[in-house]
């Protein structure tokens, strides 16, 4: 006798088993199809990745040599970018109309280099680097030697040429400094007024109406730093430092006797040293040029050449959008001037300013100045707009365009004590500088040979009175040793630039 419920249950189980077997077969088929699809996609990708680039890069690599006709070869180096065949055709067309295109070269850790050529030809994916023994990037650039064009560029190897030097502002020389020291030694201060920077600094008014800035500090180190930094600038023949001299606050002396009440109001202590700096009128803020800003941070002969050829003006300054690959501007470049063309006043003025900046970078590195460009660089990590603001403690004379290096009190002592914290910023500026004033480097080499401590002490003894020397110590021996090391570092940078960029010394 059969149980009807048992028969129905058996039929249901058979039906469920059939459905389960059908589902398993379907899943197995899907897995096999997925595996086959992955293998097919991998094989196709491998084929495209391996063979298509080989087909596109079979074009001969070409280096453009100087023309036999000297009239068509005007420049010292020409950059040739290795590209694919299709890009070569485009580039040959460009080179017929624009024969010389130069790329700013930075040999410090610069993650992104934006070639001038990219904005002109709109060819993407060609990273440009100079040829070195150890290539930093996968692509390469070759420098083809030619004849320097001194009239157009104002350069001579890695040095500013006579064209630029002839237009440098006169500034302040040794005669100006000697005259100021004689004037202070025989002068009479009649009043002190607030001004000239920090709280206890004062504007000094002399009996004949002349003015000076008096730097007063509780810490003698800062007075030494200001004074010996000025002496170092004199030894390097830098004319951008305003004549300064040291004095001692003595209300019994003819210099200070008429300003006794103002001295008490300023809370100056007697028998303390001060630095009196000649007052300079018509000063205006000085900004930081683009080559020394963090997104550019290099200054070499190709940057100068781009300025002289008008290519620098059409380069969009690299910003966050540039780094993210935003579309480039399609502004057409100006026509290339013929060889021997004189620089227009605007370009000449820019190069003269950059020549002064090359001295500033060397000077601030030597003294480890914290209160100028390094101040801006250090604060850049919190305020990206600070590099567009005027440089700290730097001014420009409106009439002569002379850069004036102000407030160097952190140099040689206080700045040296903080090298562990700020040396990276000092080194960043120096490492990216590859154009110098020849006279500055010559004087620096002479100073190294003579011994900087000896020369600085000679000026100190010759320029100050016995009363000043009784109160103000000479430059410490430790600072003198650090200065020697930094002189060697600058001269090493000059040699490095000579090996990289110079065709004539």
Question: The tokens of 232 are what?
Answer: 């170092």
How far, in Å, are 55, 148, 166 from residue 153 at the CA level? 42, 9, 14
10-residue mean pLDDT series, the chain (505 residues)? 48 56 71 83 76 50 40 37 38 42 36 34 36 34 35 71 92 96 96 89 96 94 97 98 97 96 95 96 91 73 82 48 47 48 80 96 97 88 85 93 96 96 93 95 97 97 95 96 98 94 57
Q: Are strands 211-216 and 79-81 parallel, antiparallel or unpaired?
A: unpaired
Degrees to nearest 5, angle at CA 415 with 362 and 387: 60
How far apart CA 301 and CA 153 sit, in angstroms, is: 9
pLDDT at 55: 53
Beta bridge partners of 299: 433
pLDDT at 146: 35
DSSP for 296-361, written as a single string: T--B-HHHHHHHHTT-GGGSPPP-HHHHTTPPPP-PPPPPPPPTTPPPPHHHHHHHHHHHHHHHHH
pLDDT at 143: 30
Is residue 74 within 8 Å of residue 145, measured between CB atoms? no
CATH fold, domain 174-280, is Phosphorylase Kinase; domain 1 (3.30.200)
pLDDT at 295: 58
Beta bridge partners of 394: 405
Is residue 430 within 8 Å of residue 298, measured between CB atoms? no
pLDDT at 308: 82
Question: Domain ranges in the chain?
Answer: 174-280, 284-503
First to last CA, the chain: 119
Radius of gyration of the chain (CA): 34
Is residue 113 within 8 Å of residue 129, measured between CB atoms? yes
pLDDT at 231: 98
Reduced 3-state DSSP string for 442-476: HHHHHHHHHCHHHHHHHHHHHHCCHHHHHHCCCCC
Reduced 3-state DSSP string for 111-152: CCCCCHHHHHHCCCCCCCCECCCCCCCCCCEEECCCCCCHHH
The model's pTM is 0.68
Question: Which of 34, 246, 158 shows the shortest CA–CA distance to 434?
Answer: 158
Task: Give the distance from CA 264 to its chain's centroid.
Answer: 44
């Amino acid at each position: 006798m059969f149980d009807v419920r048992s028969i129905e249950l058996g039929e249901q189980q058979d039906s469920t088993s059939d459905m389960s077997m059908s589902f398993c077969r379907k899943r197995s088929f899907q897995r096999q199809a997925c595996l086959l699809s992955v293998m097919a996609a991998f094989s196709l990708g491998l084929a495209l990745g391996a063979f298509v680039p080989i087909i596109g890069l079979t074009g001969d690599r070409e280096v453009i040599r100087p023309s036999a006709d000297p009239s068509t070869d005007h420049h010292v180096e020409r950059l040739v970018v290795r590209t694919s065949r299709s890009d070569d055709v485009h580039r040959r067309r460009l080179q017929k109309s624009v024969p010389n295109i130069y790329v700013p070269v930075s040999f410090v850790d610069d993650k992104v280099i934006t070639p001038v050529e990219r904005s002109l030809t709109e060819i993407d994916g060609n990273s440009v680097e100079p040829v070195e023994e150890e290539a930093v990037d996968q692509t390469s650039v070759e420098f083809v030697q030619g004849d320097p064009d001194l009239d157009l560029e104002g350069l001579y190897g890695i040095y500013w040429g006579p064209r630029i030097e002839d237009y440098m502002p006169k500034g302040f020389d040794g005669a100006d400094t000697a005259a100021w020291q004689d004037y202070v030694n025989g002068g009479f201060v009649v009043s002190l007024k607030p001004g000239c920077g920090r709280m206890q600094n004062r504007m000094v008014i002399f009996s004949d109406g002349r003015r000076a800035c008096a730097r007063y500090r509780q810490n003698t180190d800062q007075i030494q730093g200001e004074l010996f930094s000025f002496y170092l600038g004199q030894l390097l023949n830098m004319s951008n430092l305003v004549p300064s001299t040291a004095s001692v606050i003595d209300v019994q002396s003819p210099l200070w006797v008429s300003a006794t009440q103002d001295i008490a109001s300023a809370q100056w202590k007697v028998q303390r040293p001060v630095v009196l700096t000649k007052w300079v009128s018509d000063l205006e803020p000085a900004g930081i040029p683009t080559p020394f800003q963090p997104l550019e941070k290099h200054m070499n002969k190709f940057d100068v050449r781009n300025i002289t050829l008008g290519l620098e003006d059409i380069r969009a300054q690299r910003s966050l959008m540039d780094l993210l690959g935003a579309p480039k501007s399609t502004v057409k470049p100006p026509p290339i001037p013929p060889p021997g063309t004189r620089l227009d006043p605007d370009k000449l003025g820019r190069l003269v300013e950059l020549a002064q900046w090359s001295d500033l970078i060397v000077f601030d590195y030597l003294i480890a100045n914290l209160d100028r460009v390094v101040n801006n660089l250090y604060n850049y990590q919190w305020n990206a707009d600070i590099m567009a603001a005027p440089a700290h403690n730097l001014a420009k004379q409106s009439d002569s365009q002379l850069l004036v290096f102000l407030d160097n009190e952190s140099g040689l002592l206080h700045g040296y004590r903080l090298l562990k914290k700020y040396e990276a910023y000092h080194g960043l500026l120096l490492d990216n500088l590859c154009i110098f004033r020849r006279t500055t480097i010559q004087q620096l080499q002479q100073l190294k040979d003579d011994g900087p401590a000896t020369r600085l002490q000679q000026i100190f003894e010759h320029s100050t009175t016995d009363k000043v020397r009784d109160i103000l110590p000479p430059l410490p021996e430790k600072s003198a040793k650090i200065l020697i090391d930094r002189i060697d570092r600058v001269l090493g940078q000059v040699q490095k630039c000579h090996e990289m960029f110079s065709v004539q010394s």
